[in-house]
Structure 1
Amino acid sequence: MTKEEQKPGEGKEGKTRWTDCIYNPRTGEFIGRNASSWGLILLFYLVFYGFLAGFFCLTMWVMLLTLEDHVPKYNDRVPSPGLVIRPKSLDIVYNRSDPANYGQYIRHLDTFLQRYNDSEQASNELCLAGEFYDQDAEAQKKACQFRRSTLRICSGISDPNYGYSEGKPCILVKMNRIIGLKPQGEPYVNCTAKRDSPLSVQYFPAAARIDKMYFPYYGKKVHEKYVQPLVAVKLLLTKEDYNKEITVECRVEGSNLRNNDERDKFLGRVTFRVLVTQ
């Protein structure tokens, strides 16, 4: 039989179409593998990733068994706390004649001081001043009272504007919490202006002292009602101070807490700027 006499369709069975790369109907292969081959591969990866997931869960479980619920196992924090201020801004700029201009600072202080309300603090302990309040043997730690009224004219009780309307704003200074910290000496806050002439300030409580009875701190879970002691700093600005930017630095003095580390500008100190316009 010559080539011309071949029947139609003969010789086409050996031809391969491009769709056979995905599914070959003659061999039953899908992407080059039959059903049994695909089943073995899926079984292998199911067992492999199942083992990895189980091993990961096992290591996490063992690690969690070594951790304390309330105190970090490894504490790489600095041994001295940083200082922060409220209202939460390092640039306090406002016009004392415009209540809407300084309203944000008033609202921030009102919100922050809610936990310090005398009614809230009445359930806390009346602690012995000047003594550390050690509670190592107690499962649930108690908190010492720090009443809002202690801040007097900077408490927002007698003056709801915290002195901002008269151009003599109140700034609240507090230390960051460090579990187990027991500062030595008699820590207090000292604020100065970075300029040639001194800046008159008034502190509440008296002498800007941070009492030892608020230490040590035991952690958020067991020391739920704990509130950090505050020092209110009232900046007694005069007319000559208005319309001038004043840089103020507050430091923790009188103790072993560090306040002069040039690598950390907030370690034991805080610097902020104040600009009051009329």
Structure 2
Amino acid sequence: MADKKVAEQYYAPPPQLGKWEGFKQFLWNSETSQCLGRTGSSWAKIIIFYIIFYAGLAAFFGGMLAVFFQTLDSTKPKWELDGGLIGSNPGLGFRPMPPESNVESTLIWYDAGKPDNMKYWIEETERFLETYRNAPGAENRVKCDFDNPPPEGKVCIVNIDGFYPCTRDNQFNYPKAAPCIFLKLNKIYNWYPDMYNDTTKLSPHMPEDLKEHIRAEAARGTKNTNVIWVSCEGENPADVESIGAIQYIPRRGFPGFYFPFKNIEGYMPPLVAVYFERPKTGVLINIECKAWARNIHHDRSERRGSVHFELMVD
């Protein structure tokens, strides 16, 4: 009987505590010297375990990252041209771009009679060209032409003040309802264009005026045709009627001495200013510009080798 009473006392349930009293006991139990359900030695063991575990994990991750970076070259991509995701078909871009609030738009629309209305387009063009003025690596830039390509380790200057009348002083001709749009090719490492410099093997898809221009340049000298040619046209018959005359400044394309891109500090891609002399006002004009080389293929849906934008001058 005595043993039964002792057993009943040994297995007696713990005293019932209220919520607050139970919580305080969980924080600190003075009878067992436990904090949050663990003794000091238990906490020390688990903290030491996780320190060792995460230190080992961090060391393993750091070691793998170090091995990975040993396989990379900071000056060029690991996979080039068709071996990489970018591929070997450059895209064509235009500036100025519409505001970021309307990022999906490709419409350049302004009122030539309202300075505040055209202010954004002028300032955005100037911001774009300012990157050419302030780009690092000026000591690597040299003047180039068809007879003087850049020496090893050097790159060609892009003279952004040689685009008259598409200059900052003229406000890029926006006030005259004859705006200038700048075109550039996307950079692809080690890509070199296969030029259309043989007048007997021009693409049948080229505009006729571009073919005539290439033949005229070839008559002046074969080096003058080492160019990635550029053409801009209205996409539809109505756009062709509205677009008016176009000038390409300083020349109708990107000279070959700017290629290939080798990621040399100071390199800036060449520019072509497309000067719309007299576009029809009050009309939305759909424009497509294309870059022409034998190894540039055009695909509007994937934005390869061409660019589309709309122009509307009120």
Aligned equivalents of 2:126, 2:77: Cα separation in 1:
32
Please tell me whether the aligned partners of residues 124 and 145 of structure 1 are also in contact (alpha carbons under 8 angstroms).
yes
User: Which amino acid is the alignment partner of residue 51 of structure 1?
Assistant: G
Which of 175, 198, 220 aligns to 1:165? It is 175
Shift of 1:97: 1.0
SS at match of 1:51: helix
Which of 272, 289, 299 aligns to 1:260? It is 299
Question: Sequence identity of aligned pairs in percent?
Answer: 28
Match status 1:76 vs 2:85: yes
Shift of 1:184: 0.8
Shift of 1:128: 4.2
Which of 144, 149, 169 aligns to 1:127? It is 144
Aligned equivalent of 1:250:
289
Against the structure 1 CA distance between its residues 73 and 45, is the aligned structure 2 distance closer, same or farther, given a 3 Å change threshold? same
Question: Which has a greater percent of helix?
Answer: 2
Aligned equivalent of 1:192:
233
Matches within 5 A, 1:1-278: 15=15, 17=17, 18=22, 19-74=24-79, 75-89=84-98, 90-114=106-130, 116=132, 124-129=141-146, 135=152, 141-157=153-169, 160-185=170-195, 186-197=227-238, 198=240, 199=243, 200-206=245-251, 208-219=252-263, 223-238=264-279, 241-260=280-299, 262=301, 264=302, 266-277=303-314
Aligned equivalents of 2:308, 2:168: Cα separation in 1:
23
Which whole-Å deviations, capped at 9, do the CAs of 1:20-69 have from their partners, x for residues lacking one?
Answer: 44433222233333222222111111111111111111111111122112
Instruction: Structure 2: state its 5+ residue gaps.
Output: 1-11, 99-105, 196-226
TM-score by length of 1: 0.80
TM-score by length of 2: 0.71
User: Which amino acid is the alignment partner of residue 259 of structure 1?
Assistant: H
SS at match of 2:47: helix
Shift of 1:164: 1.2
Shift of 1:268: 1.1
Aligned length: 249
User: Which amino acid is the alignment partner of residue 87 of structure 2?
Assistant: V
Shift of 1:115: 5.3
Against the structure 1 CA distance between its residues 249 and 156, is the aligned structure 2 distance closer, same or farther, given a 3 Å change threshold? same
Which whole-Å deviations, capped at 9, do the CAs of 1:185-244 have from their partners, x for residues lacking one?
Answer: 1421110112215232111123x121110011122xxx2221211111111225xx2111
Instruction: Structure 1: state its 5+ residue gaps.
Output: 1-11, 136-140
User: Which amino acid is the alignment partner of residue 179 of structure 1?
Assistant: Y
Aligned equivalents of 1:155, 1:122: Cα separation in 2:
25
SS at match of 2:156: coil
